[in-house]
Structure 1
Amino acid sequence: MNRIDFPGRGGEAVVEYLDGDYRVVKSGSFVRCAITGQSILLPHDLKYWSVARQEAYVDAAASLEAERRATGRR
């Protein structure tokens, strides 16, 4: 089992996404990607998010897909 499949102790965090930073509202060891549902370990693996949508993304491709869905572009 890899670390994404088993995010470890602490459960899912609740995060407020800010410009260039984020604030943990409820402690946890991971957040979920809004597009793929994959676990994103905190703090090291969280690199992509949307302030406007308050969503986290596992990678740049997931972030781009979220933007496409939000704007209705394909």
Structure 2
Amino acid sequence: MNRIDKMGGGPAELVYGDGEFHVVRAGAYVVCAVTGARIPVDELRYWNVDLQEAYATPEASLKRVLEMKSRE
């Protein structure tokens, strides 16, 4: 059995907190809110607590921050 089989092959549902996240529904990946890329849960490093969104890269995270500031 491989890593994906253990976690389920579909998307995970997470609750993002400060410096950690909690798994609501186990899965293999989450989807980047900016790029749409699949991010393996064990490789997830970037998210926004207030927006409850995951990001594939720091650049994607910055892009979302700039989008939100332009709406203010």
**TM interval, short-chain normalised:** 0.7 to 0.9
Residue 30 of structure 1 is matched in structure 2 by: 29
Query: How many Å separate the matches in 2 of 1:42 and 1:13?
Result: 8
Aligned twin of 1:66? 64
Percent same amino acid among aligned pairs?
42
TM-score (norm 1): 0.83
Q: What's the TM-score once normalised by structure 2's chain length?
A: 0.85
Structure 2: which 5+ residue stretches go unaligned? none
Following TM superposition, by how much is the alpha carbon of 1:42 offset from its aligned partner in structure 2, in angstroms? 1.2
Shift of the alpha carbon at 1:14? 0.4
Q: Between Structure 1 and Structure 2, whose CA radius of gyration is higher?
A: 2
| Residue matched to 1:47 | 45
Structure 1: 5+ residue stretches without partners: 1-7
Q: Match of 1:22, as an amino acid? A: F
**RMSD between superposed Cα atoms in Å:** 1.3
Matched residue pairs, number? 65
